Amino acid sequence: MQEERNPQVRQLRKQMVNLLAQTRENDEKALSYRAQEGRFLALETLSSIVSAALNEYRQSFDIDAVTLVLDDPDYEIQRTLEDEGVDLAGEQRLKFLATQYQLRDAAKLPRASKLGGYDYTSQQWLFDYSDAMLQSVAEIPLMRGERVIGALALGSRDPARFPQDAKPALLDSLAAVLAICLENALNQARIKRADLTDPLTGVANQKYLDRRLEEETARCRRSGEPLSCLFIEADDFDGINQKHGRLVADNLLIKLADVVGSQLRGSDTLARYEGASFAVLLVRSAPQDSKYVADRIREVIAGRSFDGPDNKALAVHVSVGISALQAESKKNLPRNIADRMTRIAEEMLKQAQSAGGDSVVATVLN
């Protein structure tokens, strides 16, 4: 009884109770984090991992805002997610470095975890979609070796949720698993994509282009956004092949793929379609803009010299055929519009070649 009356004893007992409660809370939190890591490891596709990071984490740990930032300079991650059916335009919680105007600086990604109060000036871009009155934020880097591939940003209304002096070991562990899963899923997508790549030029093949065209025309049917399909071919390619041989002709196709690809946006699709023809899919590109792109490609190629036999320069010209869908055309699109776009683009190419080559012929389908 005397111990009960001793203030020091009561204080120590209270501290012990609090310590045990904190230990139990930490153990439960660790189990939750390990369970989340296990769910990440069980997922196979890039889209399912991204969805889990954005949705399950917020639900499991009572977070008010979750943002995933990924470094994607070659548009590879975005293309893979689009192939898996993700509507990137409608997902503001997913942000990409180097392809969104406000995120060009890779230095925005942290190299070490940063916790503390919400700084509107430096962190608003991470949570520009959220109307929550955030008070504390955690920025956790996604690392693969020494390379930062992205960051996981967590926001809370609770100012004590992410204290500056906290040790984010569990967050770091979860981010490490997430980074591994993202990289593995991307590698698996690359393996699958190998079946959709032209072995000579390294660009997409006809099978991939046809699939993308079906997806994009379906998107146009829903949204009314413009879309254009270009067919490009070197003038008198058969003559070049017969005169200079297959090696020169193959090298020319490789170089043409490089030149055409350099004139496109990351969101566009370049494919070797049939024989010497290349097809280009220009998403969200109005007919007049597609004509400008086609003329630019034609002029760039005409201004270059290509490798001919015996190290001699080979002058090359191309013709381009375009079939285009205007904006707000969704009500008029037939079900077979994808097939019509490639067929008519090819017909426009033949018209350009028949007119003497080194030209662009375009038509609007609606």
Q: How far apart are CA 35 and CA 37, in angstroms?
A: 5
**Residues 229 and 341: beta-carbon distance below 8 Å:** yes
Fold that domain 2-194 belongs to in CATH: Beta-Lactamase (3.30.450)
Number of CB atoms found within 10 A of residue 149's CB: 21
Fold that domain 198-364 belongs to in CATH: Alpha-Beta Plaits (3.30.70)
Q: How far apart are CA 212 and CA 196, in angstroms?
A: 11
Q: How far apart are CA 324 and CA 319, in angstroms?
A: 16
Per-residue pLDDT at 26 exceeds 80: no
Can you give the pLDDT at residue 329? 58
Q: How far apart are CA 348 and CA 183, in angstroms?
A: 42
146 three-class SS: coil
The pLDDT > 90 percentage for the chain reads 45
Can you give the pLDDT at residue 258? 95
Domains 2-194 and 198-364 share a fold: no
**Residues 273 and 209: beta-carbon distance below 8 Å:** yes
Band the pLDDT of 310: cuts 50, 70, 90: confident
Sequence ranges of the domains in the chain: 2-194, 198-364
pTM, full prediction: 0.60
The secondary structure of residue 199, as a DSSP letter, is: T
pLDDT, tens digit (0-9, with 9 covering 90-100), for 33-74: 566 666 767 787 899 999 988 988 787 778 899 999 998 888
Per-residue pLDDT at 330 exceeds 60: no
